[in-house]
Amino acid sequence: MLDPIRTKARWLAATGAAFVGGVAFASGMDWIRPTEAASLFQSAPAAPSAAAVRPVADLSDAFISISESVTPAVVTVRTESAAGPRGGRMQIPEEFREMLPPFFQVPPGQQQGPPPTQQGTGSGFLISADGLIMTNNHVVEDAIQINVEFQDRRLLRARVIGRDPTTDVALIKVEGSGFPTVRLGRSEQTRVGEWVLAIGNPLNIGTTLTAGIVSAKGRPLNIIRPDYAVEDFIQTDAAINQGNSGGPLVNLRGEVIGINSAIFSPTGMSAGYGFAVPIDLARRVSDDLVRYGRIRRPRLGVTVNAVDPEGVEVYRLPAQTGAVVTGFATDDSPAQRAGLRAGDVIMSVNGQPVESSDRLSRVLANFQPGETVTLDVIRYGARQQFRVRLGEVPATPAPTRTAAATPQPTPPAAVGRLGVQYAPITPQLAEQFRLDTREGLVITNVQAGGPAARKGVQRGQRIVEVDRQPIRTAEQFDRIMAGKRPGEIVSMLLADRQGRQIIANVRLP
């Protein structure tokens, strides 16, 4: 009978003998050397030379130096503001409360406690030794109490010196002296590709420094809502998150070149697209807030559009650039007094290029009311210069009132190559479209998706000019259209009921 224990012992003995014999054979063949076997565990790649890592080490040293010199002047801005109804619950009208179940009802006359507040956290930086701090408007807007936390954990009460919603810049102040300060640089001299550092208190985790480069300049994001908004953001891939708002964006010379303000992200967290208000603009706003307690904004007094591909042909431009003057904001427009006309294309202001209609407002923001600027203009192919003395935007511009439209029966389908219907202005049409004139033509219908609709033409707009010719009758319009061939452009100057003008350059199918 087979003994499994004895069989297993014989198998183990045979295996051990074979292993010892194999080692002995390998040693005899000089296959294994003790020194080589040891080197498998002891060898390592040679360390890089000091010269090879010097550029990176220099950059690292620069980051360290910037952190040590700038961070002491960076603060956390803590705010309290009204949170609205308790717990965010909607307010229930009195007449509906009795319909609620008993556990939802509030006994008559019972107070629901003091209004709740919500906490906010942002960043800021000291620009003067006596406690002046620059931050974002949206950090302190609507705050009923502001406290500033310093790097040494001191907490001081702050008050608002001034704020500007149109640029998202605010100044606050704490009492004291001898505070550390930052150095302000020149954002105009900043170049795309430069290294920058973002410093602040993201997500309320404490002062944090992140590095990246300047990805772009002059970004308009359309996130600032008030009239006369100026958006000229510096874009960076340095990580910026909630709580970084108001903190400094710093170059490798340790100079602040921007105020971290916004991010583009599908998650609300950094996705590599951060934006900062240029420090040149912020400094201009801050100076006004300190000297006047408000922003003195220059006024050119024009309404402008971007140049589209058809505009390049109509205005005879060398490239698709500039800002097209479509009209004048008021009767006392400084630009109109200087000689500008609708259809002029502004190419530069005091030598600063105006690449787009958005860029014009950003360039003008660097000037003061009362200053005289030189505009380089192309007027239908002819280059001209105008000197304009800038006016001042009223401190509280009158709101534009728009009457509610009265429902009207749907007109018949639009006809014609432009995709519009137009008619002489009758008393009935003037009342329907709330026009203040009884002369000329009005657009009564626009074909959805048609050539004119794609250029922003709308019902109720008054036709002022076509191809630079004043239009008062349908016969004038028809005569111009009869001479147009497919592929040619019809340039229409239109006005809405508030008097705002646009130029629609429509290419005929």
Q: Is the pLDDT of residue 400 over 50?
A: no
CA dihedral of residues 84, 88, 94, 100 (deg, nearest 10): -170
Residue ending a domain, choose from 257, 292, 327: 292
Q: Is the pLDDT of residue 216 over 70?
A: yes
Average pLDDT in the 351-355 region?
A: 91
pLDDT score at 372: 95
pLDDT score at 325: 93
Closest CA to 228 of 398, 409, 477, 40: 398
pLDDT score at 185: 94
What's this model's pTM, rounded to 2 decimal places? Answer: 0.67
Q: How far out from the chain centre does Cα 130 lie?
A: 31
pLDDT digits (tens, 9 = 90+) for 369-399: 999 999 999 999 999 999 999 998 876 544 4
pLDDT score at 139: 94
pLDDT score at 230: 67
pLDDT score at 499: 79
Residue 104 lies in a domain: no
Domain check: are 237 and 348 in the same one?
no
pLDDT score at 402: 34
CB 249 within 8 A of CB 258: yes
Q: Distances from the Cα of 417 to the Cαs of 65, 192, 451, 485, 489, in angstroms? A: 67, 46, 8, 10, 11
The domain tally of the chain equals 3
Q: Is the pLDDT of residue 365 over 80?
A: yes
Residue 231 lies in a domain: yes
Domain check: are 140 and 187 in the same one?
yes
Q: How far out from the chain centre does Cα 104 lie?
A: 43
Question: Where are any strands of DSSP class E within 307-380?
Answer: 323-328, 345-349, 352-353, 372-379
Q: Is the pLDDT of residue 476 over 50?
A: yes
Which helix (H) or strand (E) is 462 found in, with range? strand 462-466
Q: Is the pLDDT of residue 201 over 50?
A: yes
pLDDT score at 415: 56
Tell me the pLDDT of the chain averaged across its residues: 81
Average pLDDT in the 59-70 region?
A: 91
Domain check: are 467 and 481 in the same one?
yes
**Mean pLDDT lowest for which of 35-39, 320-324, 423-427, 480-484?**
35-39
Domain check: are 451 and 387 in the same one?
no
CB 404 within 8 A of CB 425: no
Residue 99: pLDDT band (50, 70, 90) is very low
Average pLDDT in the 144-154 region?
A: 95
Q: Is the pLDDT of residue 7 over 90?
A: no
pLDDT score at 295: 83
pLDDT score at 10: 60
- Give the residue numbers annotated as catalytic, written as ranges: 138, 168, 245
HSE, CB side, 13 Å, CA atoms: give it for residue 464. 18
Residue 49 lies in a domain: no
Residue ending a domain, choose from 253, 269, 292: 292
What residue numbers bound the domain in which 477 lies?
420-507
pLDDT digits (tens, 9 = 90+) for 174-185: 999 999 999 999
Q: Is the pLDDT of residue 26 over 50?
A: no
Average pLDDT in the 254-269 region?
A: 83
CB 391 within 8 A of CB 397: no
Residue 439: pLDDT band (50, 70, 90) is confident
pLDDT score at 223: 52
Residue 48 lies in a domain: no
What contacts 83, CB < 8 A, 6 or more positions away? 115, 116, 117, 118
